[in-house]
Structure 1
Amino acid sequence: MTIVELYNKLHAAYSPENLNEISGQLIQLYKTKNYTAIRGLVNKISKYVNIDEENDAKCFSKLIMLYHPDKGSTIHNQLKLLHEGNDYEKLQNYSHIFLLADFDVRAASHTIQTMEFDAEYIWDTDTEEGYSFTDEYGEESFEEPEDNAFERSFFNLLKIREYGRTNIELPTYYLQDFEDFEMAESGLESLDGIEYCIHTKILDVSNNTLTDISNLWELQHLEELYLANNQVGYIDTLSNLSNLRIIDLSGNQIDDISALYELEQLEYVNLLGNPVPLNQIRMLEKKACVVCFESKSRYHF
């Protein structure tokens, strides 16, 4: 294929119509929790794009950022510059979109849908011995119940992950060393303790029962935040996180996103499933930020 042929083919592939179609189908897979199909797509384009396919929230966010219609004009300008510079190799780096040519959400919807849990740490407070956790070898350990009801906080979950029990002293300065926390589907009820993780850059606490995120205030190094499918209503705390680039807030109860207006690094926000006023979303889009939302059962890009 000549460089002219490649350029013309890419220019057509990144048309608004095609990007709208791809993004719409991706959102449909995400809303139906067909994470298996989403990870399959990530694996399909892995030759060109490096995405952590083990993290469902990241998979979807990164795919949407690649194929969001708002990216179309920017990509077309980049393709034109590469074509004019006769840079065939870099032009070919955009060819991953061709691998989605046969992508059809109707076919993907028949893929077996699985909710993958981290089997290494499963909360269980119903055992007579207290609560239990299962280690990586499938062996179960038990701890005597404490005087107070067991608190499913960030700090306690971290203790169990590191030491297998909560009745242990864990210096708070120890938490400063972590840059990436993966705690999706962990039974988290509060973020107590996260405020000490001041150097954290990536945090995934999707699919829990969180209502309060005020403990995030001090995490000013945070770049990626995945809060999908919790019970969060207020996000004023996020206004202090000046380095945020990617935020997944889908499946919550948020109706005011004004706290995001001053975040200069913001690139992507997922608001699917939240009752956010359209005028606020338009304000966010003026920042050249990719925003996913829905209104009256329609997806908007």
Structure 2
Amino acid sequence: MQNSSRMTVEDLKVKLLEAYSASNLNNISLILINLYRNRQFSVLRKIADIISNIVNIEITDHGKGFSKFLMLYHPDRAENHINEINRLARENNLDGLLGYSHILMLDSIDEIANALDGYEDIDYSPVYEWDFEEEGFTIIDEKQRSEKLKTSKIACNFYDAFRYRIYGDPETEFPSYYLEDIDEFELSSSCINDLEGVTYCIHAVSMDLSDNLISDLSLLSGLTGLEELNLSENRIELIDPLSNLTNLKRLYLSDNLIKDISSLLDFEKLEYVDLAGNNISKDQISQLIDSGVDVNI
């Protein structure tokens, strides 16, 4: 019986790894973005219905909720999805893998979009390349994006960086309140020097803001649902604004300008902190370790 379950896990793993390839996510994202840009919200709702047995996405008449699609199927997420699928397969976790299987229901998303009621005569033909450019947005791989941002050295705020990460164009319309729908943000290496817009991320659980130009953390103080926060490789001196984030479990602060970490001693749920590359006293580090936190220095 165990061998049969294992075979099922292996079969599902193979299908999921293929489905979550960068090229397939690129295909799905492109079609979804085109539907959104052409205001085909009824079609997006019906696609959401197709996968509703596994994942819940609610699309309003004005398109709110669309960001959840992108957080599931944006090509930037390919590596994370693949790593998690491999981990679940190693643990023989069939239920966990089934949680990723919604993508298999979109195997022919171009045909689905054409067949759904409310579909208009718009060409949604997928383009199976990373360097796709059309009507103001670009889908490029992470290395290209990072190099482009670092080369340009144009600093931006959190909101514009998010729009660039999703659409390849910070001018693309994306109502700021849509950020309320998202619980995981990955905006490393985005030249962010201002956290304007981050206050809308009221349901954020995980946020990666590493390798940016951030110095002021005050706008993060209201994101009390955060459990994991990566602020490594920034320009941070003071972390006092994080004192309200009492649900934090993992905090990455390496390679900053931090000298005082006394505010972290009150974090009852904190499990791990990376403080490498800062100038922090041994006494404060010892106090943090004594409180039961795993500290990397």
Bigger helix fraction: 2
Output the TM-score relative to the length of structure 2: 0.49
Output the TM-score relative to the length of structure 1: 0.49
